[in-house]
Amino acid sequence: MRLDPEAIAREFPILSRRIHGKPLVYLDSAASSQKPAAVIDAVSRYYETSHANVHRGVHTLGEEATSAYEAAREAVRGFIGAESAREIVFVRGTTEGLNLVAQAWARPRLGPGDEVLVTELEHHSNLVPWQMVCGQTAATLVVAPIDANGDVIVGEYARRLSPRTRVVALAHVSNALGTVNPVAELAALARRSGALVVVDGAQGVPHMPVDVRALGCDFYAFSGHKMYGPTGIGALYGRREVLEATEPWQGGGSMILNVTFAKTEFARPPERFEAGTPDIAGAVGLHAAIDWLRALDLTAVHAHESELVAYATQRLGEIPGVRLIGTPRERAGVISFVVGDVHAHDVGTILDGEGVAIRAGHHCAQPVMEHFDVPATARASFAVHNTRTDVDRLAAGVRRVLEIFG
Amino acid sequence: MSDLRDLYQEVILDHTKHPRNFGALPHPTHCASGRNPLCGDQLVLMLEVDADRVRDARFAGKGCAISTASASLLTEAVKGKTTAEAHELFTRFHRAVTSVAGDEEAAAGLGKLAALAGVREFPTRVKCASLAWHTLEAALAGATEPVSTE
């Protein structure tokens, strides 16, 4: 099936905006995607018709809200191929999911001599929580390097695995370069040495079909807002045995079976990890985003975006002075580049003046910037609604940058 | 948005491509560093102050066009001024880049620095223009901690 990006774009109310008098070209979906009407409407409809707190009241609205919330959990299960909905924990987003694993699973288990292996590609959200837990437990953080193209060097990664490696934390797709990590291969190597495998899926789920069992990971975290869903909701998949063995993280309502002053018995997963009233409307919106994305067919989404990335690589590559940062074997959704010696923020401001929204900065991946010896890059990221015309507008904007700084 | 040429005026582009007073000062009496973690801009400002007058000023570091031009223009502007006059210039400059559009009075008396007043139309870029100036304040105050605009 081929996508019709123009028709898809019409489903996004915000894309009809004009920015500085020009039609908006939104190329910053890797930071946060825009929302189709189906998602916005689902959230509104929920608040207009069915809102109440979940897992508490016996009244009709409470039951409707609970069933909508649990239906969203089931939708997430199906979306990423988990075995059971009990393996799906709702969280605020990828960052919270990864922090949960670091603090609830890793912190009680790590000690001096233990190692946590991350890749050089990681977003700060899959690096800082591990640095923190290593600081708390006197474990050691080990980094698997990337090569000049921005691919993890599998041999170097394998060399760093040992019986001391307790956790391997890696991105499914790099947010800074678009590198698709060979997660199944890396996870298999990690499992062989007995390490827990934690995957940051924030940039994976919007762009390709994901099957957590085929990937062979123990945890997989992602955010709703990068895959056309609302902000403030995300999910953490945890393989059943691992999640069952994980201690509670935050305490409060909903995560208990029985409470006395002497002792509290905790609920089973996923409730054990969902203290307090959750983001019910967010879960409903995430459910709508999943349905919407699955109806488009993620294989077609991946094909469309790969074609755009290839076209953008060609169009930007033919502009003298533009340097593409990262040329990974397999790429999804993202292109990073620098324009001559113009700072990325100046590139971003000038493109904004042309109605083109991109990200400029270090993309919360400072070690990656250091690897390529640039302080920052400009990053264009693609979504299902982007077209070749959007890429042409980007290329024209980059030429304007060179004109101003010429 | 006003025209991009209001932001990237000739004087700014000139100072970005050819920063003045760039590099280390051999014997600074005052020195401070500033950084903007969001952009990755970082600079070091070095002053030679004698008898309460700024005899020399230089800067080093890397940043965007706006922060580089602002630092370059600053070093030109503060040379020869008393520390009180430099502080007064900081206040005036700060007002010019943060005042509402059309407040022409704010930019008055700034000379070449007025070229930077265009950033007030670009809220995300105001801190780029301000970085060197906050660093100046820190240097004059003898601060030891790096300045951050975040």
- Domain check: are A151 and A188 in the same one? yes
Question: Domain of A318?
Answer: 5-31+298-405
End-to-end CA distance of chain B: 24
B38 interaction partners in chain A (CB closer than 8 Å):
361
If asked whether residues A177 and A290 sit together in one domain, one would say yes
Mean pLDDT of B49-55: 95
Position B123 scores a pLDDT of 85
CB A277 within 8 A of CB A54: yes
- Domain boundary pick from A241, A267, A295: A295
pLDDT in tens, A216-249: 999 999 999 999 999 999 999 999 999 999 999 9
CB-CB contact of A209 with A243 (8 Å): no
Q: Can you read off the two tokens belonging to residue A269? A: 């997963």
**Cβ atoms within 10 Å of B17's Cβ, excluding its own:** 12
Same domain? For A58 and A92 the reply is yes
Select the residue of A369, A375, A405 nearest B62 (Cβ to Cβ). A375
Which of A262, A277, A295 delimits the end of a domain? A295
Q: Same domain, yes or no, for A95 and A214?
A: yes
Query: In terms of domains, do A314 and A201 share one?
Result: no
CA angle, corner A264, sides to A261 and A270, nearest 5?
A: 150
Could you give the CA distance from residue B59 to residue B19 in angstroms, rounded to a whole number?
A: 9
Q: Note whether A308 and A239 are same-domain residues.
A: no
Catalytic residue among A154, A364, A374, A396: A364
Is residue A381 located within the same domain as residue A309? Answer: yes
Q: Among A295, A320, A347, where does a domain finish?
A: A295
Tokens at A241, concatenated = 């045995």
Instruction: Name which of A134-143, B3-12, B62-71 the model is least confident about.
Output: B3-12
A335 and A245 in a common domain = no
State how far residue B144 is from chain A, nearest Cα, in angstroms: 24
Task: Kindly give the interhelix angle for A298-317 and A280-296, rounded to the nearest 10 degrees.
Answer: 80
- pLDDT score for B103: 66
How many domains does one find in chain A?
2
pLDDT at residue A38 is higher than 60: yes
Find, among A262, A348, A310, the residue nearest to A19 by Cα. A348
User: Are A165 and A177 contained in the same domain?
Assistant: yes
Share of chain B above pLDDT 70, in %: 92
Total Cβ atoms within 10 A of residue A248: 17
pLDDT tens across A321-377, in order?
999 999 999 999 999 999 999 999 999 999 999 999 999 988 888 899 899 998 889
Q: What is the pLDDT of residue A390?
A: 98
Same domain, A226 and A260: yes
pTM: 0.93
Q: What is the mean pLDDT of chain A?
A: 96
Q: Predicted ipTM?
A: 0.86
Mean pLDDT along residues B97-118: 80
The DSSP code sequence of A60-94 is HHHHHHHHHHHHHHHHHHHHHT-S-GGGEEEESSH
Average pLDDT over residues B113-141: 91
Q: Nearest-CA residue of chain B relative to A400? A: B4
pLDDT beyond 60 at A307? yes
- What confidence tens digit (pLDDT) does each residue in A49-93 have? 999 999 887 899 999 999 999 999 999 999 999 999 999 999 999
Residue with tokens 């967010």: A282
Q: Which pLDDT score, from 0 to 100, does residue B144 have?
A: 64
Q: DSSP label at A32?
A: -
Q: Which residues of B touch A345 (CB under 8 A)?
A: 39, 64, 66, 125, 128
Residue A134 among the catalytic residues: no
Q: What residues of chain A, 10 to 39, have a C-beta less than 8 Å from chain B?
A: 20
Q: List domains and CATH numbers for chain B.
A: 4-142 (3.90.1010.10)
- The proportion of chain A whose per-residue pLDDT surpasses 70, expressed as a percent, equals 100
pLDDT at B1 over 50: no
Q: Reduced to 3 states, what is the DSSP secondary structure of residue A266?
A: strand
Res A317 pLDDT > 90: yes
Q: Specify whether A289 is located in the same domain as A311.
A: no
CATH number at residue A358: 3.90.1150.10
Q: Is A25 found in the same domain as A111? A: no
**Contact assignment for B40 to A352 by CB distance below 8 Å:** no
Residue with tokens 């349905």: A291
Q: The domain that contains A126 carries what CATH number?
A: 3.40.640.10
- Judged against a pLDDT cut of 80, whether residue B100 lies above it is answered with no
Say whether residue A346 is in contact with chain B using an 8 A CB cutoff.
Answer: yes
Place of tokens 């693609």: A382
For range B28-43, the mean pLDDT: 88
Mind telling me how many Å the CA of B108 is from chain A's nearest CA? 26
User: Measured in whole angstroms, how far is the alpha carbon of residue A380 from the centre of its chain?
Assistant: 16
